[in-house]
Structure 1
């Protein structure tokens, strides 16, 4: 299907069924992030050389890999290790008015359960149950201070790889999109389904952080735009179930290291996962802004 040009120019685009020119626009962003990491690493050399303290605690990430959950231990980073969540493309299907439809100004978009369409639409997204909890924290305070009263807008594709409002067969739907205000812990929780893996992209969820619920529902003043990635072992398990067969082949052609968005580093964006196909999964991620 054809794509409308971006309305305000603040989003780059990844195409739902191929890697198009949108990812080329992200290359400068990737390069800047790599340069920042290189410079940061160089600045730490004198400190490392001067340090004589015990480094036994530095293996905590590898030790944690034996736990029952999957994901990134760095999602709970704080203090000097705290970094702002990487800025990523919103893709061609944001639904925030920057590229066509604007679901954020519609009554009913503020909700926890995003599996169903709202308003005049009635579709339901089927799939393995997924609960997503994002914790928004203040990076300038070392990631120890939750951002109460912020807002988060999330959206992702359905089990067939379609985006509501845009994709053929789902243009009249608005499921798998929703907004919530962060609580005193800086958290928002959405009830959803596990998304498909479509050609050219690793399985992911898009999200935008706003300073307030008023800003979110007015589609103004985005604080951060990023994406959540899923661990491969969980994807393999989910995609072995009914309804996800097309994702098996697609996932086999991709990796986090070759994905056009996550290839330059995904440590802060890889969700911690728990659960099962039968009981559903939970995905958690800390989002420093």
Structure 2
């Protein structure tokens, strides 16, 4: 089964597979009625902070995250350089920087493939024995981690994205979410142009089954160029 068809079944197969649908849609607990302090679509408000939306880990989560403590996650993957800086704040402490948190990220390569998986209908190329574009870092005193990677490619049914899982220092899961990329003329997505695949058939944020209800809390700031490389910055508030 192609990825595109798989993703469609998450919606069209709700009667026959409700558990799958629930697992791949936004967490209902993250959608609340707006209050006087304000709520952004897809997130919950805690004091003056808006908690990052909860998203699915997807079908390709890192199998043993603790094995990939590293800042450079490129391995042998080729593509335009991407330096990603994530800032993690504590929504239970007025969005103060959260030091000592474990942050995992993972994403597909320029061709739209994930490491640690493959050889199946969802991904024909077998990358089960390699671990590219996956890594873990611990936030510093400013709540920041930085990863060196490549600009993600795309695959049918999904917009360009990066998966994020934040844990406490003791390993308690605090938030699973995703990073969305700005789209349109003048953006990095347009400049990269889907690498060799182009953008024909690309799924935009507005049509993406994860991001279609809004990306206000997940949309990164991305600057740079294909020659100099790209810099990504985003802040996520998590309940710690």
- Whether 1:130 and 2:82 are equivalent positions in the alignment is yes
Label 1:136 to 1:229 Cα distance change in 2 as closer, same or farther (>3 A).
same
User: 1:211–1:83: structure 2 CA closer, same or farther, 3 Å change rule?
Assistant: same
Secondary structure of the corresponding residue to residue 86 of structure 2: strand
TM (norm. structure 2) is 0.80
The number of aligned residues is 215
Determine which of 131, 153, 156 is the counterpart of 2:107: 156
For the 8 Å contact 1:197–1:247, the answer to whether it is kept is no
Alpha-carbon distance, 1:18 to partner = 3.9
Matches within 5 A, 1:15-94: 18-19=6-7, 20-21=9-10, 24-26=21-23, 29=26, 33-34=30-31, 36=32, 39-40=33-34, 43-44=35-36, 82-94=49-61
4+ long deviations beyond 6 Å? none
Other-structure match for 1:227: 178
Q: Which has the higher strand share?
A: 2
Cα deviation 1:111-159 (Å, max 9, x = unaligned): 110001xxxxxxx01101000010000112221x111111101000000
Q: Give the unaligned 5+ runs of structure 1.
A: 3-14, 49-77, 96-101, 117-123, 216-220
Residues 30 and 87 of structure 1: CA distance in aligned 2, closer, same or farther (over 3 Å):
closer
Match of 1:140?
A: 92
Runs of at least 5 residues in structure 2 that lack an aligned partner in the other structure: 11-18, 39-44, 119-124
Give the structure 1 partner of residue 192 of structure 2.
238
What is the TM-score with the length of structure 1 in the denominator? 0.68
**Which residue does 2:214 correspond to in 1?**
265
Matched, 1:279 2:219: no
Give me the CA root mean square deviation.
2.7
